[in-house]
Amino acid sequence: MDALFPALRTVPAKTALRFGDRALSYGELADVAGSLARELRALPGEHPRVAVWASPTLETNVAAVAALLAGVPVVPINPKAGERELAHILADCTPSLALCAPDTTLPAAFDHLDRRDVDVEPRQSSGGVTLDEPDPATAGMIIYTSGTTGPPKGVVLPRRAVAGTLDALAEAWAWTEADVVMHALPLFHVHGLVLGTLGPLRRGGSVYHLGRFTPSALGAALTETTAASPVMVFGVPTMYHRLAEQLDEDKDLAAAVASARLLVSGSAALPVADHERITRATGQQVIERYGMTETLMNTSVRVDGPRRPGTVGVPLPGMDLRLVDETGRVIGARDGETIGEIQVRGASVFTEYLNRPDATATAFSDGWFRTGDMATVDAEGFVRIVGRKATDLIKSGGYKIGAGEIENALLEHPGVAEVAVTGEDDPDLGERIVAWVVPAGECPAETELADHVARLLSPHKRPRVVRFVKSLPRNEMGKVTKRALHA
């Protein structure tokens, strides 16, 4: 494999990273990351690893790049991780060193670790990037899952997976060194760190991290940047929903968003209603992609193909995708209706769960990774996610129903601001459909919402119970945590 970041050796004057008013050129990044990489390669032990306190700072990015240059697996740590979760992660991955920004107060769980404050002040005498490229099969990153079904598992991602997924996205999105990637995503997750930071650096483009997302901050940054460079905006549905709410009223914001080359949404499904509002106000069609920590990116809507709101596109180059039924039989129908579990294989799939051979074995079937996501595939290969196998596939009255399509239907009702749909035990139906609704103003009648869904979809998909709530519990990537609803 070629160098993971070839631009570090070839375009010294161009801006690589920007966080607010702080920035590093490629030459400066090569200087500071190359110097740190030489230190990290000298770490003792057969399998050294480094924990990176993944604050939204230049230092986090320099630390991650340095570890990858050194061939030392980087373990990004969520700064908001709880005590028990943090203790589990550090005991599981046993890092040799903690990397963080200066003046960071690390939790007590780090007390037993050596600490290295990351210096981002360039020193031209350091020599830049001089280390040989590590083997592509070696571990590049260990990213921990969200732990929704037990303690978080360490997903071991080889360097080839990082390069493979970024190159596949470059082909699908026509992503080049000219693009600036703009986002405000957390840096302990695939979306913000791998796609949003390592992706631009692999292409030789620029990262512009906004810090905390607000529609006004995004609008100002786009207005400043798009006059000189094409901009790709990466975001999660919560961000696009906030944009959609303001675009009709704020014509300057709409013009700024319209100036972006590409709007990409991921980490959860973007409701069709928000797709339509953004397109109506800006002329832009948001594209969605689908991936997981274990597989990086599996599918995406392509820039040179049709854009279909509600789908996550087609399989990316290098990735194979199939649907299987409950017995493990491959579903041959590509009718856009038959629901099955997504299984994938390809260059971007992880190697193993760290220290969990049992979980690794269970996760695969004949070399295919079992995603646990339920979907349909149409005749042109477009994938439509209907939910998670464990929480979003509802078996009611003999039907298999995806929660996602009911949620999208309910969001088209003017009285619904946010919604989550779950299944609940029912002695007659097996499971009844429950809608958890954040109302937009006064609560609409339950029968009105049920009839709305029955009219748009079919009668058996209507919610039997509607529960009005003030807010929906979400994780930091904007995904609704449905187990918390029932708790």
Q: Helix or strand or coil: residue 118?
A: coil
Distance CA 187, CA 181 (A): 14
Distance CA 183, CA 264 (A): 10
| CB-neighbour burial class of residue 294 (10 A; exposed 0-12, middle 13-18, buried 19+) | buried
For 81-147, where are the E strands, in sequence order?
97-100, 114-117, 139-144
Crossing angle of helices 403-411 and 446-456, rounded to 10°: 110
pLDDT score of 294: 97
Residues of the chain with CATH 3.30.300.30: 391-486
- Answer whether 247's CB lies under 8 Å from 260's CB: no
391-486, CATH topology level: GMP Synthetase; Chain A, domain 3 (3.30.300)
Q: In the CATH scheme, what architecture does the domain 6-321+341-371 have?
A: 3-Layer(aba) Sandwich (3.40)
The DSSP output letter for 233 is E
Mean pLDDT per 10-residue interval, the chain, length 487 residues: 85 91 94 94 93 97 97 95 88 97 95 95 71 92 77 94 98 98 95 97 97 95 96 93 92 97 90 92 96 96 93 96 93 91 96 96 95 94 85 72 82 91 82 92 92 85 92 78 78
Buried b (16+ CB within 10 A) or exposed e, 83-109: eebbebbbebbebbbbbbbeebebeeb
Q: CA angle at residue 479 from 190 to 59, to 5 degrees?
A: 35
Distance CA 13, CA 27 (A): 6
Residues of the chain with CATH 3.40.50.12780: 6-321+341-371
Region class of 198: left (phi > 0), else alpha (psi between -120 and 50), else beta: alpha
Closest CA to 418 of 469, 380, 360: 469
- What are the structure tokens assigned to 192, written together? 């913000």
